Structure 1
Amino acid sequence: MVRMKWLQEAAVLVCGLLAAGAGAQDFPNKPVTLIVPYGSGATDTQYRKLAELASRSLGQPVIVENKPGGNGTIGPVQMARTAKPDGYTISASTVSLLRQPHLQSVNWNPLTDFTWIIGVGGYSFAVVVREDSPFKTLADMVTWAKDNPGSLTYGTPGQGSSLHLLMADLAKRAGFTAIHVPYKGGGETTTAMLGGHVMVTLNNVGSVNAQVEAKTARILSIFDAERLSHFPNVPTTKELGYDIVYSSPYGIVGPRNMPPAVVKRLHDAFKVAMEDASNKVLLDTLSLIPWYRSSEQYAKWAVPAFQTEREFIERAGLLKTQ
């Protein structure tokens, strides 16, 4: 009797594995949903281009669904909790996934609750003002902020975002205070700065490229290790005397326990997409950088990056209390 029960359970297991394998082999046979956890801006533009190009390789549409909020974590976390690990619902991922658990108590784990599919790019971040701002340089902004404590207002794509932490770190090093105004994405932040609702925005360069070229906005500094070829006259924050260099990779994740064959199919399609000439042109236009990591490399990168984000938050004085 025990042997019969064991054989029945083994048969069910084998059938399940065969069914999963069969499902993986014909993946995808319907549209794939790609969640983008931000509104309009460079991030949304980049992922829509990748979705368009990946659709060609997959033979099925990749439909972008925007779910902003939670500093870019609501969308992917909801996916991880509710989506089947069959590859038909995946999400854009930024370092916010690795940061949020250090900022507040959460009931999810970025290292165990996601399948890390592919790393595709990285942001360049900048301090930006309107062209008619009295701040012509970063030194002007710092001096004014010191002379007018708590009066400088700055917008970012969210509480606890890379840009919020960068300004907090800069303020701490330079010795000034400022008022943070969080928004839901780079597009909203740029609009707020241009409309005079905030004096400064910290944003990815891609979200302000058009405005800078149209001479309605001006970049005071960037947080890259070196100056950008697109804006060679813009200094790095480090060369201005503040030892802050920060890059922010982004990629694609899925729910945990995805079949390896499905992960490979998605990885390969998005790798072809990121290597497409039209995507390279877009990256240059948005001042984004290519950052390819295979599924294995992306998952391995996340482990030390999780600790690095903790240290970044601690330097900014925003580490959650236990």
Structure 2
Amino acid sequence: MEADVLNRTNLRRHTIVAGVFFIAVLSVQKVWADVPDYPDRSVNVVIPYPAGGSGDTTVRFIGRKLSERWGKPVIVENKAGASGIIGTQAVGKASPDGYTALFTTTLHIQNEAVGKKAPYNPITDFVPVGQVLRSPAVLVVSSAVSANSFGQYVDFVKSQQSKPSFGSAGNATTSHLYGELFTRKTGLTAVHVPYKGGAPMMTDLLGGHINYAVIDVGSVMPMLKAGKVKVFAITGAERSSLLPNIPTFKELGFTGFESYGWMGFLLPKNTPTSVTEKWEVALSAITKSPEYTELINGLGMEPTTIQAAQFSSVLKSDIANWRRIAEEARITAE
């Protein structure tokens, strides 16, 4: 009898303790999900590439605007190395509380598409919160070339006795992928010449050391305005407001060139929805401002306001497209 009473007493105690623990867990989860005061301290934004360049300019501008909106410091940190993998991994391992964000580029998914090994999954280990710009690429040649249209240029290259060459900003980059795709789609046989960035490649293009390239508009625009180069086609699903008179590859009968280069923000997976929503609202306001539009257009890119759901779709469709291009062009990270 006494044993039964003791067992029932212990059972009630365990039930009460379990109930209190369950309520406590729910309370913690609710607070974690709501995060009403976010941000209540400084926010760190990692860009996994070296300082300088259009990406650096863009993220520092947005960082200043976020600081103004939130009333807290937004610190931009360049953590370069291994084609962006080192900085990206650091963000992936960070606490999913919204205080460490990643500002990255198309390379985030291209690494996966070309078989570059990384200690994270670019899709499932991150939460996209906003794509803030896109960057089409153009087929560019020296103005010394006599051809004045896409068709004329392809015929001109095919008529040359020497084997043509095309440049890129590096192996397995967007310019390499699109350059190789153009070469194969037009039936050309060309030598790929990789450079350490777009600037030295453009210098050699002007000097006649390479024949053509398919590279981002930002790298080409100053020389195009100066009359030093010609542009015959542009990537993307539609003509660009930056160069409205230039036809897309698709218009010219060549598919596969629809994906854009882009830049955007991601957070570690499991970041509370209330935090990602605050990022979405802030980024939307910043990217729609005339000041931001002027900055991005000046860098030779197109401002975008693509929020989480749509950005997630872009990531998934782009990784499939870049993988297909890499396979078709037989490009790997090695």
How many positions carry a matched residue from both structures?
319
Offset of 1:191 from its aligned partner? 5.2
Q: Which amino acid aligns with 1:113?
A: D
The residue correspondences of 1:82-101 to structure 2 (distance < 5 A) are 82-101=93-112
Distance 1:265 1:18 in 2: 17
Change (3 A) 1:46 1:175: same
**Structure 1 position 317 matched with structure 2 position 320:** no
- Shift of the alpha carbon at 1:88? 2.2
Amino acid at match of 1:114: F
Residue from 288, 293, 317 that aligns with 2:306: 293
Q: Which amino acid aligns with 2:221?
A: N
Give the corresponding residue for 2:180.
Answer: 168
| TM-score (structure 1 length as normaliser) | 0.80
**Counterpart among 285, 288, 291 of residue 275 in structure 1:** 288
CA 17–229 in structure 1, closer or farther in 2 if over 3 Å, else same: closer
* Residue-by-residue CA offset, 1:166-225 (whole Å, 9 max, x unaligned): 111111112223333444544554456457665544321123222322334433321234
1:66-91: CA deviation from partner (whole Å, max 9, x where unpaired): 344544444323321x3222222211
Match of 1:103? 114
Residue aligning to 1:59: 71
The aligned residue for residue 302 of structure 1 is 315
In the other structure, the counterpart of 1:27 is: 39
Letter in 2 for 1:112: T
User: Any residues of structure 2 matched to 1:1-322 within 5 Å, and which?
Assistant: 3=14, 6=18, 10=22, 13-14=25-26, 16-17=28-29, 20=32, 25-37=37-49, 40-80=52-92, 82-104=93-115, 106=117, 107-132=119-144, 138=150, 139-140=152-153, 143-144=156-157, 147=160, 151-156=164-169, 158-183=170-195, 185-187=197-199, 189-190=201-202, 193=205, 198-248=210-260, 249-318=262-331
Deviation at 1:252, TM superposition (A): 0.8
| Cα pair 1:103 1:313 within 8 Å, conserved | yes
Change over 3 Å in CA distance of 1:155–1:85 after alignment to 2: same
- Distance in 1 (CA, whole Å) between partners of 2:214 and 2:83 is 14
Which structure is larger by alpha-carbon Rg, 1 or 2?
A: 2
- Give the 3-state SS of the residue equivalent to 1:111 in structure 2: coil
Question: Partners in 1 of 2:51 and 2:197 — Cα distance?
Answer: 5
Task: Using structure 2 for the length normalisation, give the TM-score.
Answer: 0.78
| Distance of 2:298 and 2:115 partners within structure 1 | 35
Query: RMSD between aligned alpha carbons?
Result: 3.5
Residue 126 of structure 1: how far off its partner (Å): 1.0
1:98 Cα deviation (Å)? 2.8
CA 194–320 in structure 1, closer or farther in 2 if over 3 Å, else same: closer
